[in-house]
């Protein structure tokens, strides 16, 4: 969905999100990552999973939406030779904005995307058109390598010098936990974008806290992007 977002689009950074009020029903706003930013537009890319996204999908072209943003911290972009991006499912959406920002730096971008089936794979061609090296895994083997995106990651990280490599990831927590483990073993710096239920979106309600090595942190305001060695996923 393409949004005419005015000033928000001018200041937004990859990894940040928009908090969208979808209807006048007593809904919490819904968070969506920035998928693409250009001129004064922001594209979001979403799956319909419940009432809010269903209602959003029925908006007509030209409809007005109440949007808060850009919220959260975003990815910290570093100009390091090898940039590796790994995403699973709808977590691939924010990595496209990141890849677009990285193509302007003199780095090599490798994108690994994973999904349950070929039909659920997102943006494979878009990443390739940007000039990224794209590797694909599907759980049922209908697209790319059969298995998990993290299986491909292990091989790639082994072939790259850790001091010249950085890893960025977005996807389900189970995948992020494995990405963090692999990054730790390979001694590669890694940033992960967490998906938690976000309520206020601005750090006031503490509804989205996660446990970190230095105490609880709010995903909406101190995240959603964290250094992987900071987060204790699953605890």
Q: For ligand FAD, give the closer residue by CB, 30 or 120.
A: 30
Among 5, 37, 45, 132, binds ligand FAD (CB under 6 A): 45
Residue 90 binds ligand FAD, judged by CB under 6 A: yes
Residue 197 binds ligand FAD, judged by CB under 6 A: yes
Residue 209 binds ligand FAD, judged by CB under 6 A: no
Instruction: Write a three-state SS string for the chain.
Output: CEEECCHHHHHCCCCCEEEEECCCCCCCCEEEECCEEECCEEECCCCCCCHHHHHHHCCCCCCCCEEEEEECCCCCCCCCCEEEEEEEHHHHHHHHHHHHHHCCCCCEEEEEEEECCHHHCCCHHHHHHHCCEEEEEECCCCCCEECCHHHHHHHHHHCCCHHHEEEEEECCHHHHHHHHHHHHHHCCEEEEECCCCCCCCCCCCCCCEEEECCEEEECCCCCCEEEHHHECCCC
Smallest gap, in angstroms, from Cβ of residue 222 to ligand FAD? 12
Among 5, 9, 14, 33, binds ligand FAD (CB under 6 A): 33
Q: How far apart are the first and last CA of the chain?
A: 35
Smallest gap, in angstroms, from Cβ of residue 177 to ligand FAD? 17
Residue 224 binds ligand FAD, judged by CB under 6 A: yes
Residue nearest to ligand FAD (CB): 50
* Interacting span for ligand FAD (CB under 6 A) from 28-36, 113-121, 158-166, 210-218: 28-36
Residue 53 binds ligand FAD, judged by CB under 6 A: yes
Residue 87 binds ligand FAD, judged by CB under 6 A: no
Residue 47 binds ligand FAD, judged by CB under 6 A: yes
Residues that bind ligand FAD (CB under 6 A): 17, 28, 30-33, 44-47, 49-53, 90, 93, 195-198, 224
């Amino acid at each position: 969905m393409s949004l005419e977002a005015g000033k928000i689009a001018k200041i937004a950074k990859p990894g940040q999100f928009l908090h969208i009020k979808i209807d006048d029903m007593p809904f919490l706003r819904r968070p969506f990552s920035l998928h693409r930013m250009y001129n004064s537009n922001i594209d979001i890319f979403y799956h319909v999973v419940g009432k809010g996204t269903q209602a959003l999908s029925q908006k007509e072209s030209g409809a007005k939406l109440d949007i808060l943003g850009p919220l959260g911290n975003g990815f910290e972009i570093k100009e390091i030779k090898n940039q590796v991006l790994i995403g699973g499912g709808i977590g691939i959406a924010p990595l496209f904005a990141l890849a677009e920002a990285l193509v302007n730096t003199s780095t090599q971008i490798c994108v690994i995307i994973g999904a349950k089936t070929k039909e659920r794979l997102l943006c494979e061609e878009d990443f390739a058109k940007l000039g990224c090296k794209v590797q694909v895994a599907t759980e049922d083997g209908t697209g790319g390598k059969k298995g998990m995106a993290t299986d491909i990651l292990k091989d790639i990280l082994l072939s790259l010098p850790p001091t010249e490599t950085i890893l960025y990831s977005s996807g389900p927590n189970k995948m992020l936990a494995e990405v963090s483990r692999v990054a730790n073993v390979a001694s590669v710096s890694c940033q992960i974008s967490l998906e938690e239920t976000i309520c206020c979106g601005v750090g006031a309600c503490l509804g989205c806290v996660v446990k970190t090595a230095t105490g609880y942190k709010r995903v909406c305001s101190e995240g959603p992007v964290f250094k992987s060695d900071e987060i204790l996923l699953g605890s």
